[in-house]
């Protein structure tokens, strides 16, 4: 059963959404403010979607979304009484997946929830890795870093994709030479170290995801 975290300081709105969501077959967990929402995600990350109001006490929806994305990339639908373009654009910049203006139709919200959950599931099936502002799309051979497409050499892409597809598995330099460069490569394992250094520079704030294993090689850290 898909699980939803419903976050709003108005109890009546939480009740209405919960009633419709339960009817659609969703399990609903409630939170009355952004801080409570972050704590609930820290305690239990098994949510398929988060419905969150923007204007809330203690911690607003935008700030809560940022904190939650640091813990796990859970789809977020933002609720707001404000429908200005700026608010929507800012929401998408902090990582929300959809934006619904109050007052809203509960039936429309249910339809949006279904689409967001389906899209997130499809991305997983298509091997898209998301971690904070890093997006690795294997099918599109694309890497996005904090909203900008990374500029990497073909060999950097090859190394990153190979390590990411084998997440948290130790890879020796010899194995990387064999899999990325091929059997016909003439050189030594210092070539791997040089390209890893370049790759880390290209990853910028996410450079530490490429972990050095002393006397062994490298691995892509387990972020899932």
**Residue 193's domain spans which residues?**
131-220
pLDDT in tens, 61-100: 999 998 998 888 788 999 988 766 777 778 787 778 888 9
Is residue 192 left, alpha or beta, with left meaning phi > 0 and alpha meaning psi from -120 to 50?
A: alpha
How far, in Å, CA of 69 to CA of 80, rounded?
19
User: Do 96 and 169 fall within a single domain?
Assistant: no
How many distinct structural domains can be found in the chain? 2
* Residues 102 and 198 both lie in one domain: no
Q: Are residues 75 and 158 in the same domain?
A: no
What's the pTM?
A: 0.57
Angle between helices 34-43 and 61-71 (to 10 degrees): 10
Q: Which residue has the tokens 């994305």?
A: 69
Closest C-alpha among 7, 59, 56 to residue 30: 7
Model confidence at 128, pLDDT cuts 50, 70, 90, reads confident
**156 and 56 fall within a common domain:** no
The answer on 184 and 112 residing in a single domain is no
Q: What is the mean pLDDT of the chain?
A: 88
pLDDT at 182: 75
Query: Does residue 1 surpass a pLDDT of 90?
Result: no
Q: Kindly state whether residues 66 and 12 are assigned to the same domain.
A: yes
Please tell me whether residues 185 and 112 are part of one structural domain: no
pLDDT at 139 over 80: no
CATH number of 139's domain: 1.10.10.10
- Give dist(CA 54, CA 9) in Å, integer: 10
Q: Which one of 125, 158, 193 terminates a domain?
A: 125
Span 95-121, average pLDDT: 88
Domain identity same for 189 and 141: yes
Instruction: Quote the pLDDT of residue 124.
Output: 58
Q: Does 65 share its domain with 13?
A: yes
């Amino acid at each position: 059963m898909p699980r939803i975290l419903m976050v709003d300081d108005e109890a009546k709105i939480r009740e209405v959404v919960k009633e419709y969501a339960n009817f659609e077959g969703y399990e609903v967990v409630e939170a009355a403010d952004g801080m409570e929402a972050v704590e609930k995600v820290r305690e239990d990350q098994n949510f398929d979607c988060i419905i969150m109001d923007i204007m809330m006490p203690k911690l607003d929806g935008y700030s809560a979304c940022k904190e939650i994305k640091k813990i796990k990339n859970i789809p977020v639908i933002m609720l707001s009484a404000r429908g200005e373009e700026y608010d929507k654009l800012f929401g998408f910049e902090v990582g929300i997946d959809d934006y619904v203006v109050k007052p809203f139709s509960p039936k429309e919200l249910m339809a949006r929830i279904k689409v967001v959950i389906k899209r997130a599931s499809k991305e997983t099936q298509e091997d898209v890795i998301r971690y904070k502002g890093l997006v690795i799309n294997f099918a599109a051979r694309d890497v996005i870093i904090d909203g900008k497409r990374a500029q990497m050499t073909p060999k950097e892409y090859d190394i990153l994709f190979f390590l990411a597809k084998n997440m948290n598995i130790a890879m020796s330099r010899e194995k990387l030479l064999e899999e990325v460069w091929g059997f016909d490569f003439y050189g030594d394992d210092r070539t791997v170290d040089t390209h890893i250094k370049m790759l880390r520079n290209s990853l910028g704030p996410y450079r530490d995801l490429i972990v050095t294993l002393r006397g062994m090689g490298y691995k892509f850290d387990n972020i899932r």
